[in-house]
Structure 1
Amino acid sequence: MHREVDWMVPADEYILEFLASLHYRNKRVIQKPSSIGPNIGYGNRHTANRCSALSKYGLLERHDDAAKYTITDLGQRVVDNEISPEELNAIEPAES
């Protein structure tokens, strides 16, 4: 998918898949980039940058000032291949 979406990079798919796999009592688990990175084979800084970018595009939700993230419904749709690359390319990033 990342090759077909202008703003995505390879790490994004791993981040989304990792967060999509985490549930506790049918709730999505909140994770820091420093917990995500080692589990997907990317450094903490790159993971943090990509989590921030994915949240601007609505695929992740950022929680409080500690930069913790969960996958959104849109992010889950990406993991489930329910959204086309064209639809993702059309998303405008939110302002910081």
Structure 2
Amino acid sequence: MRQPADWMVPSDDRILELIREYGNLTPIAIEAKGGPVRQYASERCGVLARHGLLEQVHRGLYGLTDDGRAYLDEELDAAELEPTDS
């Protein structure tokens, strides 16, 4: 069972799963593939990136990190992640 952190919301898992399935995505593409609406996806991608589950590959383009894969594979407790300033 995945171990989400207190700062996570249910749509975070969907965003991470879509990026794992399709590769690097923009918030617009996340919405088009069945995820949350673009603006909300953009906000959540920023939060996920600050905690190390996603990386910003290019402005507005996000990819899954090793920690993101480990979380999806139930090998990482997201509560252990600390936010960064970047």
Normalised TM-score (structure 1): 0.79
The Cα of 1:41 is off from its aligned counterpart by: 3.7
CA contact (8 A) 1:15 1:40 kept: no
Question: What is the CA distance between 1:47 and its match in structure 2?
Answer: 0.3
Q: 2:63 aligns with which of 33, 51, 70?
A: 70
| Residue identity opposite 1:58 in structure 2 | G
Query: Partner of 1:38 in structure 2?
Result: 32
Among 49, 53, 73, which residue is 1:59 paired with?
A: 53
Q: Which has the larger radius of gyration?
A: 1
1:5 Cα deviation from its structure 2 partner:
1.6
Task: Name the structure, 1 or 2, with higher relative contact order (CA <8 Å, separation 6+).
Answer: 2
Q: What is the number of equivalent residue pairs in this alignment?
A: 85
**2:13 corresponds to:** 13
Any stretches of 5+ residues in structure 1 without a counterpart? Answer: 23-28
User: What percentage of aligned pairs have identical amino acids?
Assistant: 33
RMSD: 1.6
1:92: Cα distance to partner? 1.4
Matched, 1:49 2:43: yes
For 1:14 and 1:91, how far apart are their aligned partners in 2? Answer: 19
Shift of 1:49: 0.3
Structure 1 segments (4+ residues) deviating >4 Å: none
Instruction: Tell me how far 1:89 sits from its aligned partner.
Output: 1.4
> 2 CA distance for matches of 1:83 and 1:90?
8
